[in-house]
Amino acid sequence: MGTKLEFIMTGPSEEESERIWAKLLSEAQALESLLSRFDGSSEVSALNSISQAGEVFPSHELLEIIADAEEYRMLTSGLFDVTLGTSKPSIVLSGRGVDLRGGSLDFGGYAKGLLCRRAKALLSGEPAVESAYLDFGGSSISTIGTHPFGDCWKVSVCDPFSGRMLKEVELRASSLSVSGSQPHYEGHIKDPRTGRFIEGRCLVICEALDPLDAEVGSTAAVVSGGEKLEFLQKNLHLSQVSFFNL
C-alpha cells in the first residue's frame, strides 16, 4: 500500500508477540494482494486492467469490500468514492458482478482504514494484549487500552509545512486519521465528483471508534473543503473532526 505499518503492544511475551506479529503481517499481506494499486498482481490491479470489459466478477471478499465502500459513498454523499471516474449510482450489479466501465478502483483512503480495523480486531482478540498503539504510515493510528504510563494515548498532529502543532488528541481505544496536503506531494486526493485533484492546502483530523470510519471521514472532509463536517461527523460516527486551512 506504499506505506509502512508499525505498532507497539504491551502484555504478550516475546514468543506471543512474534506470533501476533506474524498474524498481523499475514493480514496485511492478504489485504495488500487484494487492494493495492502499487502491486501489479493484486486483484484490484487485475480488475482495473480489464475495467473496460464490462461486467467483471471479483472474489467474494473483494465484492464485500466494494459493497462496503459503496455504502460509505452513500453516507458521504459521494465525497468518498473508491470508484474513480464513474458516475454510476453504484457499480455493484445484481448477482456477483461489478461494472467498472469508465473508471477504476482506488482504495486509497480506505485500505489503510480497513487494515487498521482488522488489526485492531486481531489485537483485541488476543487475551495477552493489554494495550496497543498501531501506526499506519503516520496518518492512520489505532489504539487499544492506554499508554503504559498514562491514561490515554496522546498524539500530536503538526502542520506539515511549518512544523507548528495543530492539535493534540487523546485516544482511548479510538482511532485517528489525518488527511490533507503535504510538502512536495500536494495533489494526491481527487474529488470523486469531478475527477480533479483537490487544490489548496488543508489538513483534516478525524477521530472515531472504528478506524475505517475515521479514514473515510478524513478523506471526505478534505474533499468537502471543510463544508460538511457536521454531516460527516453524524453519518460516520466521528467523535471529532477538525479542518485546518494551512
Partner 1 sequence: MTQNTKDTPEVDLSLRRFIKGLGAAAGGAVLLSQTPWLTSCTPEKLSEAVSEGPARIGIIGTGSRGQYHIHNLLRMPLVGKIVALCDDYAPNLEAASALVPSARKYSDYRKLLEDKELDGVIIATPLGSHARITLDCLSAGKHCFCEKAMALTMEECKQVYSAYKASDRVLFYCMQRMYDPKYVKAFQMIKTGLIGDVVGMRCHWFRNADWRRPVPSPELERRINWRLYRESSAGLMTELGSHQIEVCTIVTGLVPESVAGFGGIVYWKDGREVYDSVSLTYRFADGRNIAYESLISNKFNGMEEQILGKDGTVDLSKGVYYLEDDRSVYGVRRLLDQVKEGVFASVPTAGPSWRPELMGDHVPHYILANSTAKVSGESMIGADNDGSFEILEAFCQSCITGEKAANVVEEAYCATILCLMGNEAMDTGSVVKMPEDCKIPYMKF
Enumerate residues 162-181 that contact partner 1 by CB under 8 A. Answer: 163-165, 168, 176, 178-181
214 binds partner 1 (CB under 8 A): no
Give the shortest CB-195-to-partner 1 separation in angstroms.
20
Q: Which residues contact 131 (CB under 8 A, 6 or more apart)?
A: 9, 10, 11, 143, 144, 145, 146, 147, 148
Site residue total, partner 1 (CB under 8 A): 38
**Closer residue to partner 1 (CB): 178 or 220:** 178
Stretch that binds partner 1, among 1-9, 13-21, 114-122, 224-232 (CB under 8 A): 1-9
80 binds partner 1 (CB under 8 A): no
Which of left, alpha, beta for 177 (phi over 0: left; psi -120 to 50: alpha)? beta
Question: Which residue, among 176, 123, 156, has the nearest Cα to 7 in the 3D structure?
Answer: 123
Which of left, alpha, beta for 227 (phi over 0: left; psi -120 to 50: alpha)? alpha
**Closer residue to partner 1 (CB): 86 or 143:** 143
- How far apart, in whole angstroms, are the C-alpha atoms of residue 41 and residue 47? 10
**Closer residue to partner 1 (CB): 44 or 141:** 141
**Closer residue to partner 1 (CB): 62 or 112:** 112
Q: Which residues contact 220 (CB under 8 A, 6 or more apart)?
A: 76, 79, 80, 228, 232, 236
Q: Which residues bind partner 1 (CB under 8 A)?
A: 2-4, 6-8, 133, 135, 137-139, 141, 147-150, 153-158, 160, 163-165, 168, 176, 178-185, 188, 203
